[in-house]
Amino acid sequence: MKLSRRDFLKLSGIAAATTASGGLASFMPVMAQDEIVMQWWDHFLPLQPLTESVFAAYKEANPNVSVEYSVFSPPDLGQALQLAYPNDQAPDVHALAGINVPIAALQGEGWFAPLGPHVSEEWKNSLPESIFIEGRTTFGGELYSFPIFSFRWHEALTWFDKQILEEAGYDPEVGPRTWDEFRDAAQKITANGGGTVFGWTQGIGHIDRMGATLTRLAHLAGSSGEFDWSTGEYAYGSDAFVNALEFLVSMERDGSLFPTGITIDTRNARSRWATGSGGLFMDGPWNPGVLQGNFPEFLEVVGVSQAPVPDLDTPAYTYSSPKSGDFWISAQSDYPEHAAAILQEFTSESYQIALAERMDQPPLDLDTVAKANVHPTYSKSMDLFRDIVRLAPDPLVKNPAVSEVLSRMNDIRPNLGEIVQGAIAGEVSDIAGTLQAYSDQLSAERERAISEAQAEGFEVSQDDWVFSNWDPAADYTSDMYDA
């Protein structure tokens, strides 16, 4: 019989001494226990009370199972996972944030355990068909994960203090609709602001967010986004991107931008906006949720309107990629069946309604919001999303081997968000040239990665980024990939 470490300690009598004093016990490595303790990591701080209530309910039904829950900030979560997996320290269940590696590549490294074997057919059938996406939620047809949030949202809604906007001559129910109106409203607010209130407050120092925001504005100006789906080429040099960035820069030149905004992130910018810097603020649907927790008085005067567009005559849309799963069971977990049982709770209607009430990212089905007790701006946001957010095609879904290209591509810096910040701070004089150069560098890098992947036997080419049947006004649904 093999003598385990624990037996050895017992025999030598040390165990008794160490467990007798709690302090010393904490110096010993963790030992096998009859109690099941699961580790759960995610970055959904606003959902923490809700998530904990799910764990508590599960513990009530299964008294020997408890969950140690850790909420990380997104970059910390990414680094923690990066360090935990190679050392067999991965949590049982975790979210993915702060790691931009394609999920298929992580799956290829054996990170995840399937959900499918531990759930009932009945539960699987209750999920909306649209969430089963190979390379995003399923691998080899087996279900690994599912989204708890909808893809149908964007982070460029216009938020404002209704009274301030009204004083600038705009109807707070409608908001500034076009770039010209947005710019004009911002100038008027600044003029009325007595030197302390500014027309536009934004966390320009929030690099990733500004890249995403610029992409949204470019969508609404007629671009299909990062890629031109008719050719598969990078599209950052297109007029839509250039004009959108010039629109943002023009507001800084007007003196409308809250000056401190250049270096701070969205979290700080929101705090300043809610406590006096005023004006217009571009943010996602979670804004009322955060305000409710931290600035409840201010939430009462807040209004929301659609992201601005260059002109009202052309129909405008913005595109979101298909959602990946939000929680993943680690292949290193000893308790995938418990993990799966807990995860199933997240699709229940009561959970989804409670999720909507946290006012974070929209729940899987936007209609759930109607049944929930939420701030009017949150339910209005859902309508705004239905109007303009469409499902984008995804090269990864068309050809899973695309992940071999993406995981071979190195970052190009300065990246899109850094270019936005640089342009606004006056460091980029030639906006069109810089965006085109960025686009060209990305194309060259992708070409290199494609030939590298091809050389290793993967069948992938730039054609995988071409979607000739893409309709700008419609969702690109799964059946359209086969066409």
Judged by beta carbon, residue 84 or residue 127, the one nearer other proteins is: 84
Q: Which amino acid is at 387?
A: D
What Cα–Cα distance (Å) separates residue 297 from each residue in 202, 272, 302, 393?
21, 14, 10, 41
- Per CB under 8 A, the list member of 293, 315, 376, 433 interacting with other proteins is 293
One character per residue 321-360, x = contact with other proteins (rule: CB under 8 A): ---------------------------------------x
| Of residues 103 and 316, the one with the C-beta less far from other proteins | 103
Q: Residue 290 interacts with other proteins (CB under 8 A)?
A: yes
Q: Which is nearer to other proteins, 5 or 10 (CB)?
A: 5
Q: Which stretch binds other proteins (CB under 8 A): 118-126, 158-166, 195-203, 396-404?
A: 195-203
Residue pair 130/435 in contact by the 8 Å Cβ criterion: no
Structure tokens of 79?
């680094």
Of 229, 399, 209, 387, give the one whose Cα is nearest residue 304.
387
- Is the separation of the CB atoms in 281 and 269 below 8 Å? yes
What is the DSSP secondary-structure string of 418-462? HHHHHHHTT--S-HHHHHHHHHHHHHHHHHHHHHHHHHTT----G
- 264 binds other proteins per the rule CB under 8 A: yes
Q: How far is the CB of 120 from other proteins (least distance, A)?
A: 30
**379 near other proteins, rule: CB under 8 A:** no
| Cα 81 from Cα 93, distance rounded (Å) | 11
Q: C-beta of 310: minimal distance to other proteins in Å? A: 26
Only one of the segments 121-129, 261-269, 309-317, 382-390 lies at the binding site for other proteins (rule: CB under 8 A); that segment is 261-269
- Alpha carbon distance 122, 125 (integer Å): 5
Which residues, 6+ apart, have CB-to-CB distance to 482 below 8 Å? none
What is the x/- site pattern for other proteins, positions 117-156, by CB under 8 A? ----------------------------------------
The window from 145-153, 314-322, 368-376, 422-430 that contacts other proteins (CB under 8 A) reads 422-430
Provide DSSP, 326-357: S-EEETT-S-HHHHHHHHHGGGSHHHHHHHHH
Q: Can residue 27 be called a binding residue for other proteins (CB under 8 A)?
A: yes
Looking at beta carbons only, is 75 or 117 nearer to other proteins? 75
Region binding other proteins by CB under 8 A among candidate stretches 53-61, 86-94, 333-341, 375-383: 86-94
Closer by beta carbon to other proteins, 256 or else 344:
256
| The one among 9, 127, 372, 425 contacting other proteins by CB under 8 A | 425
Per CB under 8 A, the list member of 147, 205, 310, 336 interacting with other proteins is 205
163 binding other proteins? (CB under 8 A): no
Gap between the terminal Cα atoms of the chain: 62
What are the DSSP calls for 265-332, one per residue? -HHHHHHHIIIII-SEEEE-TTHHHHHHHH-HHHHTTEEEEPPPBS-SSS---EEEPPP--S-EEETT
- State phi, psi for 93 to the nearest 5 degrees: -135, 140
Q: Please identify, using beta-carbon distances, which residue of 184 and 283 lies nearer to other proteins.
A: 283
CB of 68 to other proteins, least distance (A): 5
The three-state secondary structure class of 72 is coil
| Closest to 90 in 3D by CA, of 311, 332, 404, 395 | 332
Q: What does the block give as tokens for 440?
A: 């060209």
In whole angstroms, the minimum distance from the beta carbon of 365 to other proteins comes to: 22
187 binds other proteins (CB under 8 A): no
The size of the interface with other proteins (CB under 8 A), counted in residues, is 88
User: Which of residues 41 and 476 has its CB atom nearest to other proteins in the complex?
Assistant: 41
Q: Which residue among 13, 86, 141, 457 contacts other proteins (CB under 8 A)?
A: 86
Asked if residue 371 binds other proteins (CB under 8 A), the reply is no
Task: Name which position in 19, 275, 348, 469 contacts other proteins (CB under 8 A).
Answer: 275
Is 260 a binding residue for other proteins by CB under 8 A? The answer is yes
* Alpha carbons 404 and 2: distance in angstroms, whole number: 44
Is 308 an interacting residue with respect to other proteins (CB under 8 A)? no
Please tell me whether residue 39 binds other proteins under the rule CB under 8 A. Answer: yes
Say whether residue 369 binds other proteins (CB under 8 A). no
Cβ(380)–Cβ(287) below 8 Å: no
The Cα-based distances of 182 to 185, 187, 281, 348, 432 in angstroms read 5, 9, 11, 40, 22
